[in-house]
Chains A and B, each alone.
Chain A
Amino acid sequence: MPPKVEQGTIIILDIGRNTSAKDKSGKSFFENAIECTKRIIERKIMSQGNDLIGIILLGSKKTKNSMAEQCPGAFKHIELFVELEIPSWKMIRDLPDMPTKSKGDWFDALIVAADYFKNGVSGIKNPNKRIILMTNFESPSSVDENGFDQALNGFKEEDFQVDVIGCDINSENSKNNDINMARNFVESTNGVTAPFNDTMRYLLFHKKKHVNAMPWNVDLCIGPNIKIPITSYIRLKDEPIVKKWTKAVRDPITDTASSTEAVSKKTIHLNVENKNVVNNELIKGYHYGQEIIPFFECDKSLIYESGPKSLIVYGFTHSSKVKFQNLNGDGLSYVFGRKGDKKAQYAVRCLVECLLELDLVAIVRRVYNNGYAPRMFALMPVLDSNDFVCLSMASICFKEEIKYMSFPATELKKFACTNDQVNAFKDLIKAMDLTNAYDDSEFDDNEAFPIAETISPSAQYILDCIAFRAMNPGKPLPQPRSDIMMLFKVPPLIEKRAAVPLERLKTLFVLNKVEVKHRIKKSQDASVTDTSIQAEGANEAYNDMPKVELCIPTKSENIQKIRTISPISDYKYLLSKGKPLNEIALEMTGAIESLIYSNLDQHCSKALEAMMFFRMEGVKGDPSYYNNWLKNFKTELYDRKRSDMLELIKEKQLNYIWNQENNLSKYDINDPEEESQIYEMDTAPSFTEMDVSSEVNNLFNDM
């Protein structure tokens, strides 16, 4: 069967001498026409429809058409450049790049196109025949009135549509007789006409992908005996913009897909012995908690039978009960009485009107096809702006799909808002009314972002990129066009109007951005090292000096907090200055952590030294600072999978300060609770044993 063709378009492109003159904007008619043709073809390619395109060059050097073959000497400089075929990138590439020195007769070209439609195309059923004429009519036609009328009648009879693009033919009192003739042609064939600017604006965005509407036929059942035959079509659906990407292997030489190598994808199933299990040796198992129950062991009689394909009314409910929140599914379908069944259409019509009058919607159980899992749908009456009087069908949620979320209480005193605050938002709402977003002159409609008429920026960009890559292989992809980015912007007029209310709002609310916690930590860490590096730079002699002892007197004035560069001496210094121990301890642990996490010294020797010092301080004084910190720190290390550090802590005997070392410690070496805690902290059980035993040994030695 030949492919079903929706539309056949022949573009008559004038490339004659008369098109070479440049206009005010510095572009010739020829350039504009080529650009416009390219865009038309590109859009046809990208929409993947069933349309065909043919191109006739007017004013070509060559003469190639069947009319000229039939009447030698006539129909000159008209070339059938591309026969009606599926639009391709090759068509665009092959378009001429400069005007010729010849001239052709536009009227003859129309005749050639019509003849080609009638006699040149075979085997294609072509319901919609369109001829787009792109010429500036500066090469007058030689047709006489008689011939013109004859042709026009023929065009009407054959149902051709003639469009004229690129030339303003609308002014009634044009002196150019050709233009008057062309207008007559366009009007008589219900064609359209537009200058290049408007055409390009109309062609600015890609057409939506062509989809064949698939009817879903079923009987709408109300009770056991009422069965109304209906047909449903998908109306709204969020579909992927492009088909699934196909994978190919890159040929290293050409940088394009290889013709000798392909990608192969295989899934294999390995059992416990690492052996491949073939597909028919596999069965389904249901997860239940941590167990997996093989499907065949389940009682088959308990498996649900959903029944045949059906649409059964459950009941009717007030339309306000079904809100957007309740709808859960994939788009919307429109439901009509079955095509060809006037009685069914009448019954649906009656149902729609009654639902509207009573403000009800129907809830129905739908089984899409025999045995498919059922879903519940709402059937709602629609009076569409496209004159559809029908029902729309959208899926509603099952109980199992409700997540039962809870949110913190907001009806609290601390969250109360004032009337002023509410009114300020009301002013903003008034100022930012999108139904009145543009000056009357600017667009036909004043509404910004109209529903279902706004283009999707991502869809347009992906298609842009594909079209760009097709014409410019190997070149880097462009950034999104500004036409696409418009969607992200508040319309300028609205933005202007909103300025005042916005300023007022800013004064009424206290809104403080919360920095993400771990980020603060990082930046603090960074600042710790930063300042120390600065300090280092400030005192260049530092590096040459013996390390530990001397840095205290040299920089003593500057030290405000413990730095990673010399934590032990800083600790001692700050303690001597009388800084509270809890603050010092916090700074100390901070310094140790940043030393370890930032890997400043590779073997963590400085950190371990600091830990050892800090631990000794704890043994001598209050052990809780060390112990409390260590507990969290070990958890942190565990989370960060720093088993190396955990090992080192064990090795260097830097574990908790035990009760036996300092009786203020609540960590008892013999306490099973703490033991189990340590056990949980580490993956290696030996850790506890060794650690404890060494500690115990020390302890007994001391005693």
Chain B
Amino acid sequence: MDSDDEIEESSKWKGRPGTIILINALEDSSVTAVAQEASCRLIRQYLRSSSAHIIGVTIYGTEQTKSAFNTSNVVDIFPMNVPTLDGYKKLRAANIESYGKAKELILSEVLWHCSKIFKNCNKTLSSKTVIILTQLNNSPIETDRERTLKRVIDLAESYTEIKCINISMNDYPINPFYQKFLIEANKSKDYILPKAIWDSKAIETLMYIHSHRHLAVAKLCFEIGNGLSIGVGVYSLLKSSSQSHHKTSKLDKETNEVVESVTKTTKVTIGSGNSFPKDDNDIKEVPLLKSELLFYQEYGGERIEFTEKEKKAIENPFGPPMIKLLGFKPATILCKEKWFLKSSYFIFPSESVIEGSTIAFKALHKACTEMNTVAICILCTRVNARPTIVALVPCTNPLDLDIEIGFDVIFIPFIENVRDIPAFDNTDQNIVVENAHKVLMKDMLTSLQFDYKADMFENPKLQSEYRAIEAKSLQEENMEPFVDTTKPNLEKFQDIRDDLFEELFGPFGVLSIKRSKNENESSINTKKVKSEDINEDELQEKISNKTVDSYTITQLKNILKNKSTSEVPAMTGLKKNALVNLVYKHCK
């Protein structure tokens, strides 16, 4: 679950996201246990994806002190770093209760501790996030409140995001101190109180959302018309299906060390014509200069050549990345069952490109929703991307995520993307489906109905790979059992009337088998006729005159089958020449 592969063009995204997870030890042990479990899951998630994120876990409000800067009542489980197996094991093994509980909560020190950690981080950070796992009912001691708020302001000003995750089984009145806290953390009067949350999986997801970097595919000025543009970020909410594999490297079998793979492009001399050098040693390898390189395509039997520069130039002559409105169409034109070409993008207003974009974006969103229309645009996300036509479809909560507003960016297929379906014998419009059949079918459909959710299927191959690796590397005994979510629960199918279905609709495949049998018979017959056709004298004459190639391939094969004097090798896939040679060889 990460998107490192998305290369953001702007240089300000250099670096990696840094996150400090703070767990409040003053809370009830059930709360800290949930917090610990969720943090473990998060770290494991990052281990699985071998992510370059930088994460530290710190317990605060402890009686003991075990921290980098001797900040009192703070225990660092592991310092901020790329997640390691070791760190994960430490966190899993940590007994938060054993650190004791501090007499009073001094939050300002904890936040000061965080800013010191960030300051001392020797890696370039693209973002700084503090995630606090706590309940929001106990404020720091009186004397510390002002100081805490000051620290929050300091952190917020140094672009550190502070997120509170409210771990609780049920809702409770949130201490007013935390409202002030959130106002300062958000640098604005508008804030949203975090909802109580108890499930460690949900907390993990929430922490993942907060800690993750969200790189835009592109940040663009969306040109509505001449002189009117809205700033938007283009995102992909999904990783492409081909990316969701486990990161692997090649290892040397002997040592289990990673090998370095180098691809060399060289220039070799090939003998003119067919005479390839017999020995590898004969080939002279010379370094290839880039200017010597040509690229070609074969069309009309000729090589059409381009230099590297030309090849680049023809791939996108249409200028820099852009998104431009062409007009609107009714939303009904977009049928997913007809026009799905590739995974959609998602756009969200970007105040960092154009200030005031959010309001205009919302107005457009509302207008499109109410009029049930979609915006048709031309989109080019990268300098080297092909421009495409897209439809912007207003949406809320895509993939059931907590995203208030946005447009799905749906790729509209070009004529070049459509393939012809071969002429088919079932396009007969006159098939009338009998009502009784429909009743049975509908009964079956409704009995197998379920509510689809975007996150209900896990990739079973990946999940079992993770478990195999974790079984080895963590030596964990209480492994989560592996459930293959892609396979249906067979119990649900017990009630369907498959016998009746077979009776009404079946049997399948009978006709096709019959047909192929007939075909076989007829072809055998024709073959026999043909083989009888071949005149022995004529054959011998042709052999002696070296004119066997006047036979057709079928005839040649038949000759070889029926008239050969010696064992003939397999003939499938042979070219005519080869068959002719076989005839000379075997039919004398």
Contact = CB atoms under 8 A, between A and B. Distances in A.
Interface string B445-471: 110111111111111111111011111
Q: How large is the interface on B (under 10, 10 to 19, 20 to 34, 35 or more residues)?
A: 35 or more
A290 B393 contact: no
Interface stretch (A104-112, A181-189, A397-405): A397-405
Given A277-B252, A353-B438, A46 B50 contact: no
Contact of B296 (A238, A257, A336, A488): A257
A39 to B, nearest CB: 14
A639 B125 CA distance: 11
B209 interface: yes
B415 A453 contact: yes
Interface stretch (A458-466, A592-600, A618-626, A693-701): A458-466
Interface string B338-371: 1111111010110111111111101110111011
Contact of B505 (A247, A343, A361, A411): A343
Given A288-B470, A354-B442, 11 more contacts: A229-B509, A233-B422, A303-B468, A338-B508, A340-B512, A351-B441, A399-B455, A404-B208, A454-B412, A490-B326, A514-B355
Given A213-B422, A233-B422, A413-B190, A435 B329 contact: yes
30 contacts: A213-B419, A225-B502, A235-B418, A236-B340, A239-B416, A245-B295, A246-B298, A247-B265, A269-B250, A270-B260, A271-B257, A277-B252, A283-B251, A284-B249, A286-B246, A325-B408, A327-B343, A328-B240, A332-B339, A351-B441, A363-B452, A382-B337, A400-B459, A402-B237, A406-B214, A417-B359, A425-B364, A428-B328, A469-B306, A502-B226
B531 to A, nearest CB: 19
A451 B333 contact: yes
Interface stretch (B26-34, B93-101, B171-179, B485-493): B485-493
A343 B508 contact: yes
A269 B259 contact: yes
A479 B313 CA distance: 10
Interface string B75-116: 000000011110010000000000000000000000000001
A64 interface: no
A263 B364 CA distance: 54
Interface stretch (B17-25, B141-149, B426-434): B426-434
A400 B462 contact: yes
Closest 6 CB pairs of A and B: A223-B493, A425-B367, A380-B337, A434-B327, A302-B468, A287-B50
B442 A358 contact: yes
A470 B253 CA distance: 50
A448 B327 contact: yes
B244 interface: yes
Given A236-B419, A242-B297, A263-B267, A285 B363 contact: no
Contacts of B294: 247-250, 256-257
Contacts of A491: 326-327
Interface stretch (B57-65, B228-236, B535-543, B561-569): B228-236
Contact of A487 (B14, B259, B378): B378
B238 A397 contact: yes
Contact of A260 (B272, B463, B498): B272
B529 interface: no
A224 B293 contact: no
B511 A342 contact: yes
A490 B327 contact: yes
A354 B445 contact: yes
A506 B225 CA distance: 10
B118 to A, nearest CB: 11
A433 B373 CA distance: 9
Interface string A345-368: 111111101110110110101000
Contacts of B547: none
A324 B353 contact: no
Contacts of B553: 1
A219 B458 CA distance: 24
A341 B512 contact: yes
Contact of B340 (A239, A299, A327): A327
A368 B499 CA distance: 28
Q: How large is the interface on A (under 10, 10 to 19, 20 to 34, 35 or more residues)?
A: 35 or more
Most buried by B among A245, A313, A350, A421: A350
Most buried by A among B227, B333, B363: B363
B480 interface: no
A663 B348 CA distance: 50
A235 B417 CA distance: 8
Contacts of B451: 317-318, 321
B420 interface: yes
Interface string A240-278: 011101111110000011011111111111111000010
Contacts of B221: 513
Contacts of B84: 289-291
Interface in B301-336: 301-307, 310-311, 313-318, 324-330, 333-336
Nearest to B486: A365
Contacts of B410: 324
A235 B354 contact: no
B180 interface: no
Main secondary structure of the interface of B (DSSP, over half): mixed
A488 B378 contact: yes
Nearest to A682: B122
Interface string B1-44: 11100000011101000000000000000000000000000000
B246 A298 contact: no
Contact of A234 (B256, B262, B302, B419): B419
B366 A422 contact: yes
A538 interface: no
Nearest to B82: A290
Contacts of B46: 289
A608 to B, nearest CB: 26
A246 B297 contact: yes
Most buried by A among B3, B84, B224: B224
Interface string B468-489: 1111110000000010001110
A541 B296 CA distance: 62
A304 B246 CA distance: 14
Interface string A80-106: 000000111110000000000000000
Nearest to A415: B358
Contacts of A317: 449-452
A328 B341 contact: no
A409 B421 CA distance: 46
A337 B313 CA distance: 46
Contacts of A191: none
Contacts of B307: 250
A427 to B, nearest CB: 9
Interface in A421-467: 421-426, 428-429, 432-435, 437, 448-449, 451-459, 461-462, 465-467
Most buried by A among B50, B208, B448: B448
B425 A339 contact: yes
Given A264-B266, A349-B431, A437-B327, A417 B362 contact: yes
B493 A465 contact: no
B304 A470 contact: yes
Contacts of A209: 416
B210 interface: yes
A118 interface: no
Interface in A528-542: none
B205 to A, nearest CB: 6
B498 A226 contact: yes
Contacts of B12: 517-518
B340 A455 contact: no
B570 interface: no
B525 interface: no
Contacts of B251: 282-285, 292, 294
Given A250-B292, A410-B349, A477-B313, A265 B264 contact: yes
Nearest to B268: A264
A373 B12 CA distance: 38
Contacts of A259: 272
B433 A353 contact: yes
